[in-house]
């Protein structure tokens, strides 16, 4: 459904490409993407929603190249993106307005959009948040509301960029439960091995501009290292 084919990308002023002739297809229902800081994980997800255009290669959606604004609109109806920073996602005064914004944009009437928003908040255990002032929410509350703004649009694919950053263990557990219950494609960037082990069934690693599917034993070794309390970055994740 969603595919990057042989893409390369170099940031302006950078000497080396951050992604190089990389191909990636959303085919596993729940996949994690790992790799060291700065290896290009966020760049990859941004490319998959058309926020970054590859210098070479193409983004395909349902087998067709995404080139026009209309192609992008179609893609974004079905592909939701949870930003690393919730403040990049939330902009309305109240939670209800923020969550209803997507459905309104999709053409639902104000009444229908409100109903969808209320139901989505309820599904995420956020009933009672409707009239809360969005920018006054805690970081964890913002993360769940940001997720609600996406789920209200009923996407088929969900891309999540380091969703557990700054979440406490209780909110992380809540997020795990929510993601486990969601029957849609999920691609998750994370440095949190425990979280990935609960939410994904396959892992991909970005390394020197390329992406590899990790072998099972490789995953076990790294999980063991992480469980032993070592810092994952020292092991080149």
Distance, in Å, from the CA atom of 174 to the CA atom of 183, rounded to the nearest integer, reads 16
Compute how many residues bind ligand ATP; rule: CB under 6 A: 11
Which CB, 42 or 86, lies closer to ligand ATP? 42
Distance, in Å, from the CA atom of 116 to the CA atom of 235, rounded to the nearest integer, reads 44
Which CB, 11 or 91, lies closer to ligand ATP? 11
Per-residue x/- track, 14-43, ligand ATP (CB under 6 A): x---x----------------x-xxxxxxx
Which CB, 18 or 158, lies closer to ligand ATP? 18
In the complex, the smallest distance separating the C-beta of residue 13 from ligand ATP, rounded to whole angstroms, is 6
In the complex, the smallest distance separating the C-beta of residue 42 from ligand ATP, rounded to whole angstroms, is 3
In the complex, the smallest distance separating the C-beta of residue 233 from ligand ATP, rounded to whole angstroms, is 9
- Binding residues for ligand ATP restricted to 37-76, rule: CB under 6 A: 37-43
In the complex, the smallest distance separating the C-beta of residue 105 from ligand ATP, rounded to whole angstroms, is 26
Per-residue x/- track, 106-135, ligand ATP (CB under 6 A): ------------------------------
Q: For the packed helices 139-151 and 110-123, what is the interaxial angle rounded to 10 degrees?
A: 130
In the complex, the smallest distance separating the C-beta of residue 14 from ligand ATP, rounded to whole angstroms, is 6
Which CB, 16 or 183, lies closer to ligand ATP? 16
List residues binding ligand ATP (CB under 6 A): 11, 14, 18, 35, 37-43
């Amino acid at each position: 459904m969603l595919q990057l084919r042989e893409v390369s990308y170099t940031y302006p002023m950078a000497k080396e490409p951050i992604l190089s002739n990389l191909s990636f297809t959303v085919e596993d229902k729940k996949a994690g993407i790992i790799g060291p800081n700065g290896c290009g994980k966020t760049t990859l997800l941004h490319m998959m929603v058309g926020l970054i255009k590859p210098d070479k290669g193409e983004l395909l959606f349902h087998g067709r190249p995404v080139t026009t604004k209309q192609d992008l609109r179609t893609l974004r109806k079905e592909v939701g993106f949870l930003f690393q920073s919730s403040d990049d996602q939330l902009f309305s005064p109240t939670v209800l307005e923020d969550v209803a914004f997507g459905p309104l944009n999709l053409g639902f009437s104000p009444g229908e959009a409100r109903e969808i928003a209320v139901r989505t908040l309820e599904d995420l255990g956020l009933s009672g948040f409707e009239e809360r002032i969005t920018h006054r929410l805690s970081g964890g509350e913002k993360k769940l509301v940001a997720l609600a703004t996406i789920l209200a649009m009923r996407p088929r694919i969900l891309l999540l960029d380091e969703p557990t950053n700054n979440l406490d263990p209780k909110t992380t557990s809540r997020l795990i439960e929510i993601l486990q219950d969601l029957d849609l494609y999920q691609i998750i960037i994370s440095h949190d091995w425990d979280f990935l082990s609960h939410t994904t069934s396959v892992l991909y690693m970005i390394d020197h501009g390329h992406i590899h599917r990790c072998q099972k034993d490789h995953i076990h070794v790294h999980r063991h290292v992480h469980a032993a309390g070592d810092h994952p970055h020292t092991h080149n994740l």
